[in-house]
Structure 1
Amino acid sequence: MYQQLKQVVDQMTAPGQMFEIRESFVAGQTLKTWAMAPDSLRDLWLNAAGHGDNEYMVYQDERWTYTQAHEEVARIANWLSANGIKQHDRVAIAMRNYPEWMLTYWALSCIGAVPVGVNAWWVAEELEYGLRDSQSSMLICDSERLQRFSEIRSGLANLAVVAVRVDNCPQWATPWAEVLKAPASLPDATISPEDDACIFYTSGTTGKPKGAQLTHRGCVNNVFSSLFSSLSQMTAQALVEGKEPPTPGQRQTSAIIATPLFHVTANNAVAQVLTVTGGKIVHTYKWDAGEALKIIEEEKITNFSGVPVMAREIINHQDFSTRDTSSLQVLGGGGAAVQPDLTEKVMKSEGNAMPAQGYGLTETCGIVAGSWGIFLSNKPNAAGRLVPVFDVKCIDAEGNTLPLGETGEICFKGPQVIKGYLNRPEATAETIVDGWLQTGDIGFADEDNFIYLVDRAKDMVLRGGENVYCSEVEVAIFKHEAVAECAVFSVPDDRLGEEVGAAIFLKEGQDLSFDAIREFCKSKIASFKIPRYIWILDNPLPRNASGKFVKRELKDMLDISNAG
């Protein structure tokens, strides 16, 4: 079956084909790129106008066709330009997964301005950091984020604010209805493929979140990579099974935006791909598996992609057997490994859905490798097959390239690697070396170009698709005067993949409850970063010769049943 997959890949990437690969000179290096990929997200959006009266976005009882969405995007872009937003200016988007998120994103992309995806979970202090770090010229936000901004506005009084879905708009903000009064004429813009397309904040292992600079080339190539990854494996599976290969565009694809749009999974890998193909995007107020099943039935959803726990919750939900899910063709996830048992459950579930997973990073604008159907079930421990515009290597601790199949730090080179981290030249130089992105993931590649993940070098918790870096949680806990020592680490969790755990040693004579620690953290870090598992130890934490806490040893000695 892998020989058939290779044949399909070779055929689809041949000269003159939709997924032809060419060499391009990018930022001083020669890279493989998709030959048919346009230069910018503006071009992608303008091309999507041809989908006309197809439904584009749905939110509760509100609906937009492609024609209506293009009209609104033109109005928003016109208003932004008329109100001082110029090419390369940064504009922060802070809201739930409302349709206005995507409309704003496309409008900014079309005038060459740079959307800054603000983590909607951030508390006021984190929001202020993001706005200052990105040097945003404007904030477009919903009512919840508007309230948080009001807490820090005194220090950012000159920042222009647009309020979305707000009943009582303050005088210092512009209501969304005013924006939509602008003429529906899209301003002209000439955008370079290497221009910043957006800033998405990503958690590292030290310091504050870093603003990754995704380029137009990276985002556009990611759309082609996402399409190629699924279509090539679907075609190969059809050949293996003696069936007719799928015909792109035969029916309208549709998906629920289940994960936050300020991440590449929802924005780049789902929303942008559906936009290009004329698909339908369904927005929801918040994640709920029962509501998702209702939407799948009513909207005839064909593709579901969230973090794996969401697919698991759909299959395990009490309504799964009674809802009509026959429209589902793909049930998968990204942002965390799809556990083998979940793959098996999808394969055995009633209906037409096949399991799928994607592996990628913010730093690669989305997908690097993907696995679908029989290829995922045959290699359930693999993260996916490498997309052919990427090169991969694994390196040892000294940076030496290891032979194929040997385990080391996984590195990628390709057109989707970010330009760098905003205001972080040292972090950029450490992460991108001679064009190679050092992922911090430990693993290997096999002879079929499938990538396997073994561990993460980065000290980070991947909680339901959200990156939580341990150092930030430790900093928050250490602010409590009763805490002498603290180490934060990941704890395996059946539902979310990993949860946040914290081991704490108190100062002599101090007393502190588990609930008091969590309450103390609430004003300092977002709720998803607050430890679920806490151990208060009688003895100091174990350390190595250099004085650093030995987290692996610590995790081995702790019993989850003793956590608070």
Structure 2
Amino acid sequence: MTGPGGPFELETLEGFERFRGHPRTLEGFYRVAMSRGAARLIQIDNHPYSHDAVFARAAAMAAQLRRRGIAQGDAVGLALTAGIAWAAYFIAVTSIGAVAVLVNTRGSADEMVHSIRSMDCRAVLADAERTATLLAEPAFDASLLIPAADMTAPVAGDPAPLDFASRDPADPAIVLFTSGTTGRPKPVRIDHGALTHTIVLAGLVAAMQDRHYEADFGVVVPPERASAQAATLITSPVFHFSGVMPFLRGLYFGAPLFILGRWSVDAVFNLMEREPVSRLGFVPAMLEDMLASPRVSEANLGSLLLLANGASSLDTGLANRLRVRFGTVMLANTYGQTESAAWGTSICGQDYIDHPTSAGYILPTMEMRIVLPDGSDADEGQPGEVWLRSPSLMREYVGHPEATAETIQSGWLRTGDVGRTDADGRLFIVDRLRNMIISGGENVYCAEVERVMADHPAVAEVIAYGLPDSRLGERVAVTVVLKPGAQADAEALTAHARQRLAGYKIPRTIEIRSHPLPRTSTFKIDRGRFTAERTPE
């Protein structure tokens, strides 16, 4: 696929492997999509929207933005949930050369205003709920607000076609924000060249996954069900790559998109009973919901080929349950960051079932190092910081030059993740570099402790952390939430840990609480909020 004449042929350009013949700005993507005319692009509930309809709305909105004085390079906030308005505004903003700032619509008013002000946005496009939230915040400049148009109304008159601003691959395209699990989210600038590269890479990964499916199940995937072109359900928020990626991949490669504004297991099953959805992105919490639903059956999963994980690794218990319940559905996992435009490594199929804690193999056009504190490369199996290099890396943390210089070094992205590789090149993420407890001079990774504690049958959620200790420096502590109806005390949990962890890794403080741990919009445990809850003012 990547060889001469292949659909993803590679060439070396500007020191990187890149995809030959594919556009390097969003204008090229949009021109490909516009050529599909009346074909369905997006469906929301029972309302289909063709490519023509979406781009007609985008053209009208682009003209509105230009009348407002928005010019090339200006930042425009998008404070809308996934839907036809978001899609049309995203196209409109980026087509005129402005920068789409993807605001966390699940955040508080203060968080949204902080994001808007950090990017010095010239305008903010908001839906009704976010409009009310922002206007109620005294720190928000109401003159920036452009309420979202009524997307059900026909476009008035005969709108002018999109008038694309001339752009370079190095021009900024979008800004997303880090998950902010340990502090204020930082704005991540992704340029046109990086964004288009990562979307083409998404198409290649989908094609590779289809080949693995054929090998694992002994069938041929028909063209209409191929992952890059088949119906795709977007369940993730569109202020993260997990939502933006399937939108742009579908736009470029021709996959009809079904959008859920918020995760609902019943809404997923309702859709899958009506439409031949082939691909579903998930985090493990979503799969737990699906497995627990009485509606899970072959009838409403029959069209599904792929479940793609892009968050935390699967524990072995969940992997085994999935193998039983989703026998003809292939599982896949990817590892990456906002700063790497989502990609890094990937694994799928039986290989993933056999190695459910693996993040997979380095992808084409990407390079990876496992780096020790002294800057040398780690040996096989030796943990070190994961460094990535590719054409899709972020340009900068906007307004944070010191953080940018610390994170991007000689063209390499320091991920802040600790990982190791096995003899076959699979990557295993050990923990975040900052989530390390030093207890009695020994390094203890929180993720390892959390995985062990999560294996206890009574535990629903767990977070590990260090507490000050006069003798050890820090002692290992965990807070757990038990499953409904389950029982376990600190003594039982300690006994469980003692069988599986070295002595210095065993939690010395175990807190059992009745309410869920705080989570981010992408279902990750929010360490920052958790720490704030435990720390007195």
Equivalent pairs counted in the alignment come to: 473
Question: Given that residues 358 and 427 in structure 2 are in contact (C-alpha distance below 8 angstroms), is that contact kept between their aligned partners in structure 1?
Answer: yes
Q: How does 1:276-291 map to 2 (within 5 A)?
A: 276-291=252-267
Which of 2, 17, 23 matches 1:13?
A: 2
Q: How does 1:228-239 map to 2 (within 5 A)?
A: 228-239=204-215
Which of 45, 60, 68 matches 1:75?
A: 60
Render the CA deviation track for 1:387-408: whole Å, top value 9, x for unaligned: 1111000111232222344221
Question: CA offset at residue 278 of structure 1?
Answer: 1.2
Q: How does 1:82-93 map to 2 (within 5 A)?
A: 82-93=67-78
**1:54 is aligned to 2:39:** yes
Residue 419 and residue 283 in structure 1: after superposition, are their counterparts in 2 closer, same or farther (change >3 A)?
same
Render the CA deviation track for 1:289-324: whole Å, top value 9, x for unaligned: 111111111122111112222123223311112752
SS in 2 for 1:438: strand
Please give the alpha-carbon distance, in whole angstroms, between the structure 2 residues aligned to 1:82 and 1:75.
Answer: 11
Give the letter aligned to residue 231 of structure 2. Answer: S
SS in 1 for 2:136: helix
Which of 305, 318, 341 matches 1:329?
A: 305
Aligned to 2:421: 445
Q: Which of 315-324 and 93-102 deviates more?
A: 315-324
Question: CA offset at residue 23 of structure 1?
Answer: 1.7
Aligned to 2:370: 394
Which of 66, 88, 106 matches 1:103?
A: 88
What TM-score do you get using the length of structure 1 for normalisation?
A: 0.76
SS in 2 for 1:559: strand
SS in 2 for 1:38: coil
Question: CA offset at residue 250 of structure 1?
Answer: 6.1
Aligned to 1:517: none
Question: CA offset at residue 207 of structure 1?
Answer: 4.5
Please give the alpha-carbon distance, in whole angstroms, between the structure 2 residues aligned to 1:491 and 1:142.
Answer: 43
Residue 223 and residue 496 in structure 1: after superposition, are their counterparts in 2 closer, same or farther (change >3 A)?
farther
Q: How does 1:360-375 map to 2 (within 5 A)?
A: 360-375=336-351
Aligned to 2:27: 42
Please give the alpha-carbon distance, in whole angstroms, between the structure 1 residues aligned to 2:478 and 2:316.
Answer: 28
Which of 214, 237, 258 matches 1:260?
A: 237
Question: Given that residues 259 and 307 in structure 1 are in contact (C-alpha distance below 8 angstroms), is that contact kept between their aligned partners in structure 2?
Answer: no
Aligned to 1:152: 137
Which structure has more relative contact order (CA 8 Å, sep 6+)? It is 1
Render the CA deviation track for 1:418-456: whole Å, top value 9, x for unaligned: 001000000001111111111111112344442211111
SS in 1 for 2:374: coil
Which of 359, 376, 385 matches 1:409?
A: 385
Which of 509, 527, 534 matches 1:558?
A: 509
Gaps of 5+ in 1: 1-11, 166-174, 461-469, 471-488, 504-540
Question: Given that residues 454 and 460 in structure 2 are in contact (C-alpha distance below 8 angstroms), is that contact kept between their aligned partners in structure 1?
Answer: yes
Residue 441 and residue 433 in structure 1: after superposition, are their counterparts in 2 closer, same or farther (change >3 A)?
same
Question: CA offset at residue 325 of structure 1?
Answer: 1.7
Residue 385 and residue 87 in structure 1: after superposition, are their counterparts in 2 closer, same or farther (change >3 A)?
same
Please give the alpha-carbon distance, in whole angstroms, between the structure 2 residues aligned to 1:196 and 1:362.
Answer: 15
Aligned to 1:511: none
Please give the alpha-carbon distance, in whole angstroms, between the structure 2 residues aligned to 1:202 and 1:20.
Answer: 32
Q: Which of 490-499 and 244-253 deviates more?
A: 490-499
**1:434 is aligned to 2:434:** no
Identical residues among aligned pairs (%): 26
**1:191 is aligned to 2:167:** yes
Q: Which of 179-188 and 227-236 deviates more?
A: 179-188
Question: CA offset at residue 554 of structure 1?
Answer: 6.6
Residue 492 and residue 221 in structure 1: after superposition, are their counterparts in 2 closer, same or farther (change >3 A)?
farther
Please give the alpha-carbon distance, in whole angstroms, between the structure 1 residues aligned to 2:141 and 2:276.
Answer: 45
Please give the alpha-carbon distance, in whole angstroms, between the structure 1 residues aligned to 2:134 and 2:87.
Answer: 21
Residue 103 and residue 501 in structure 1: after superposition, are their counterparts in 2 closer, same or farther (change >3 A)?
farther
Gaps of 5+ in 2: 437-445, 480-506, 516-537
- RMSD between aligned residues: 3.2
Question: Given that residues 327 and 352 in structure 1 are in contact (C-alpha distance below 8 angstroms), is that contact kept between their aligned partners in structure 2?
Answer: no
Q: How does 1:269-280 map to 2 (within 5 A)?
A: 270-280=246-256
Please give the alpha-carbon distance, in whole angstroms, between the structure 2 residues aligned to 1:283 and 1:245.
Answer: 24
Question: CA offset at residue 345 of structure 1?
Answer: 3.1
Aligned to 2:13: 24
Give the letter aligned to residue 418 of structure 2. Answer: I
